[in-house]
Amino acid sequence: MMIVLAIMSILATIATPNMQRYIVRAREASLRETLFVFRDVIDQHYSDQGKYPGSLQELVKLKYIRSIPIDPITGSSSTWIITPPEGEEKGGVYDVHSGSDRVSLDGEPYNEW
């Protein structure tokens, strides 16, 4: 019985880091998809309205998205970093990044994706 418990504890010790890595990879995949959708919706708004949206709430109000999604890394919908357009462009939201200060498994900060 002791041998079985020892083997099970060794296997659990080996499996735990892999499980954590899979969870992080799933969150990263979700962040990539969310950023893709955000950027696509911003481009659709620009094509339709001729200007970038003034805020993320404007995208919801005009029904481009149902609600502001939750950042899978920070767990909040209020931590998105908004990049305004350069130059003479109208509007306030040109791009969106994660508000997390963490680094991805690839070594790149999430807020630079």
Q: Tell me: the pLDDT tens digits for 21-48?
A: 899 999 999 999 999 999 999 999 999 9
What is the secondary structure of 8-77 as a DSSP string? HHHHHHHHHHHHHHHHHHHHHHHHHHHHHHHHHHHHHHHHHHSS--SSHHHHHHTTSSSSPPPPTTTS-S
How many folded domains does the chain comprise? 1
Model pLDDT, residue 89: 67
Model pLDDT, residue 110: 92
16 pLDDT band, cuts 50/70/90, is confident
Residue 13: inside a domain: no
Residue 88 DSSP class: T
What whole-number distance in Å separates Cα of residue 77 and Cα of residue 45? 20
Q: Which domain holds residue 62?
A: 28-112
Model pLDDT, residue 39: 96
Residue 18: inside a domain: no
59-85 pLDDT, tens digit each: 999 999 999 999 999 999 999 999 998
Tokens describing residue 30: 């979700």
Residue 3: inside a domain: no
Residue 110 DSSP class: G
Residue 15: inside a domain: no
Model pLDDT, residue 88: 67
